[in-house]
Amino acid sequence: MTQHWSAPSASGPVHSTVPVPGSKSITNRVLVLAALADGPSTVHAPLRSRDTVLMAAALSSLGVNFADREDGGWDVVPGLLRGPADVDCGLAGTVMRFLPPAAALAEGEIRFDGDPHARLRPMATVLGALRSLGADIDGDALPFTLHGTGSLPGGEVTIDASGSSQFVSGLLLSAARYDKGVTVRHDGKPVPSLPHIDMTVQTLRSVGVRVETDANVWHVEPGTIAARTWHVEPDLSNATVFLAAAAVTGGEVTIPHWPAETTQPGDSVRGILERMGCTVSVSERGLTVQGPAKLSGLDIDLRDESELTPTVAALAALAEGQTIIRGVAHIRGHETDRIAALVNEINALGGNASETEDGLIINPVPLHGGVWKAYADHRMATAGAIIGLLVPGVEVDDIGSTTKTIPDFPGMWNAMLGGGA
Ligand SMILES: O=C(O)C1=C[C@@H](OP(=O)(O)O)[C@@H](O)[C@H](O)C1
Ligand SMILES: C=C(OP(=O)(O)O)C(=O)O
């Protein structure tokens, strides 16, 4: 159900400390690994939002047991994976790309479907790869059906992963449980969002899986996946939206528990905000951003941290001087065609944005209020919230889309603007 929302204006510089829920990307990797592990695992501080609840529901429909902990975490007990099952992927790339390689280890029929736009997101590469590793799957996009036999031979596969790093991550996550493990080779234009593949490799190694990597090649040895206790980091990509509030209002926002070391690409927001004129510091309180009197535009390649594009585009629309965002052609296959959506919505408020083949160009001009369409995309909705801080009368047509990765974005936004957390 869509939920209309009048984006609140900032009455002055925003000063706040904003605790941010767990990382979507880490939570959904951990849930898959806990489900395939050699014993029970405990997950502390997971994200509980639509994408991760769908992942837990899907794994539980395959025979994995999830028990809610009082601290908000999960105790996960693996079971024999089996169908029949119906998996709802929602609009979650991590569910549609990470779950089929795990479900290929199940016995029985498993049907996958998702939101209307999910049916348009690229899937053929993952499904074709799984077929060549021995799986029996009808279809090349959602909806599709997997006919499982209880095991998968595995082996070597060459794919074009220029459309999404998730194609590689999905195959690697379950590969230790395939008879021969997996070797994935990439052949094509550069793979985007590479830090997310590093996240996959590091997470696998933390549970004893042997992974070797070379340029455009990843090899996972067959073996067991160790059960363990997990502590999920805050979601740094979601944190960027709140840091942006400090950046555009000349305020100061702190995110507690910012990890000292991380594979989350959201960490690169520090350098981005510094280039735009902000002051960024780290203390025992967390990561703090102080906004300048006026932000500057920048020329930036976001291929490695492509999911930050909507936040950076919103900042750019409120900055001084041109911004060019490059290297993100593949985000046309994200929750929506984000390049087209950002250009449409910035221009609908009187802005001057244009598409390029692999990104967009934004020339800041004074904006006016109006409807900002989210296209069911959480990061489009939060980009509208950022612009609404300085532009009165911005109406986000579907703030409910933010539940994809943040359980209560409007509540967090209001608390931030009220000065509390
Ligand atoms: O592996 C992951 O958790 C993700 C990988 C990236 O996907 P793409 O490689 O499709 O950009 C990123 O944009 C997405 O939000 C999460
Ligand atoms: C691209 C994104 O999500 P997904 O995991 O659905 O691909 C995102 O969150 O920006």
Domain spans in the chain, listed from the N-terminal domain onward: 5-21+233-417, 24-231
Supply the pLDDT for residue 268. 98
- Check if 52 has its Cβ closer than 6 Å to any atom of ligand 1: no
Q: Which ligand is nearest to the CA of 310?
A: 2
Supply the pLDDT for residue 420. 44
3-state secondary structure of 356: strand
Supply the pLDDT for residue 2. 80
- Are 4 and 396 in contact by the 8 Å Cβ rule? The answer is yes
Whose CA is closest to atom 1 on ligand 2?
Answer: 334
The verdict on whether omega for the bond into residue 84 sits within 30 degrees of 0, i.e. cis, is yes
ipTM exceeding 0.95, yes/no: yes
Whose CA is closest to atom 8 on ligand 2?
Answer: 307
Beta-strand runs (E) in 160-290: 182-186, 211-214, 217-220, 229-231, 252-255, 279-283, 286-290
Beta-strand runs (E) in 15-152: 15-17, 41-44, 65-68, 74-77, 85-88, 107-113, 136-138, 144-149
Tens digit of pLDDT at every position of the chain (421 positions): 689 999 999 999 999 999 999 999 999 999 999 999 999 999 999 999 999 999 999 999 999 999 999 999 999 999 999 999 999 999 999 999 999 999 999 999 999 999 999 999 999 999 999 999 999 999 999 999 999 999 999 999 999 999 999 999 999 999 999 999 999 999 999 999 999 999 999 999 999 999 999 999 999 999 999 999 999 999 999 999 999 999 999 999 999 999 999 999 999 999 999 999 999 999 999 999 999 999 999 999 999 999 999 999 999 999 999 999 999 999 999 999 999 999 999 999 999 999 999 999 999 999 999 999 999 999 999 999 999 999 999 999 999 999 999 999 999 999 999 944 4
Q: How far does the centroid of ligand 1 lie from the alpha carbon of residue 356, in Å? A: 21
Domains 5-21+233-417 and 24-231 share a fold: yes
Positive/negative CA dihedral, 11, 371, 349, 307: positive
Rounded to 5 degrees, what are φ and ψ at 106?
A: -90, 165
Supply the pLDDT for residue 1. 65
Q: Is 44 annotated as a binding residue?
A: no
What is the token pair recorded at 305? 């941290």
Which CATH number is associated with domain 5-21+233-417? 3.65.10.10
Supply the pLDDT for residue 336. 97
Those residues whose C-beta lies under 8 Å from the C-beta of residue 338, and which sit 6 or more positions away, are 309, 310, 328, 331, 332, 377, 379, 380
Pocket residue to mutate for ligand 2, from 379, 382, 402, most atoms within 8 A of Cβ: 379
307 catalytically annotated: yes
Q: Report the CATH architecture of 24-231.
A: Alpha-beta prism (3.65)
Those residues whose C-beta lies under 8 Å from the C-beta of residue 387, and which sit 6 or more positions away, are 7, 314, 317, 318, 346, 349, 367, 372, 394
pTM metric for this prediction: 0.98
- Check if 93 has its Cβ closer than 6 Å to any atom of ligand 1: yes
